[in-house]
Amino acid sequence: MPQPTLVPPRNSMLMRAYLLFVAALIVPIALSYGVDPVAMLPKILDITVTGTDQIHIFRAMMFLYLGAATFWLIAAFNPAWQRAAVIWAIIFSLSLAVGRAVSFAIDGRASLLLDIYFILEVLGGLLGLAVLAYEDRKTKQ
């Protein structure tokens, strides 16, 4: 029986652009959380960081975000990883948005900056879904 021929994934310029966009968007947010949380967070959010445990949490969040951005940057230039990275970006964005929506419902509105993050997260997730749908339609044609 003949072996199926594996077709290498094709490079998608649209997926690459999306991955570069979401990576560029998340890096400054990550840095604002963790480079100097004691000084930065009281300026941009209504958060006072008072202890080492809080600093550790914000720095861990920063590197979680930077880790995701690193994966998206690498995947942008690796066709075999592009689809998985787009799916991860969608899940990442929409899970943050759902968490904020739950908090809006339970806790009320937060600062304007967090409202903006919510909008960006929803738009980022929806844009990723549109990119996947477009690529799927293009592949089937």
Residue 19 pLDDT: 98
Give domain limits for the chain. 13-140
Residue 11 pLDDT: 82
Gap between the Cα atoms of 99 and 67, Å rounded? 20
pTM of the model: 0.89
Residue 7 pLDDT: 54
Residue 10 pLDDT: 77
List Cα–Cα distances, 80 to 35, 83, 85, 108, 113, in angstroms.
Answer: 33, 7, 10, 42, 35
Predicted confidence pLDDT, tens digits, the chain (141 residues) = 666 655 567 789 999 999 999 999 999 999 999 999 999 999 999 899 999 999 999 999 999 999 999 999 999 999 999 999 999 999 999 999 999 999 999 999 999 999 999 999 999 999 999 999 999 998 887
